[in-house]
Amino acid sequence: MPKTIAQRDLRNDNAKVIEAVAAGESFVVTRIGQIRDGSQAASTSPLARSR
> What is the reported pTM?
0.75
Residue 10: per-residue pLDDT: 92
pLDDT of residue 41: 83
| Cβ neighbours around 50 below 10 Å, total | 4
Spell out the domain ranges in the chain. 3-44
At 33 the pLDDT is 60
Report the C-alpha gap between 2 and 45 in whole angstroms: 8
- CATH 3.40.1620 for domain 3-44, yes or no, is yes
Ordered per-residue pLDDT tens for the chain, 51 residues = 889 998 889 999 999 999 999 999 999 998 866 556 667 788 889 988 766
Query: In this structure, what DSSP letter does residue 48 have?
Result: P
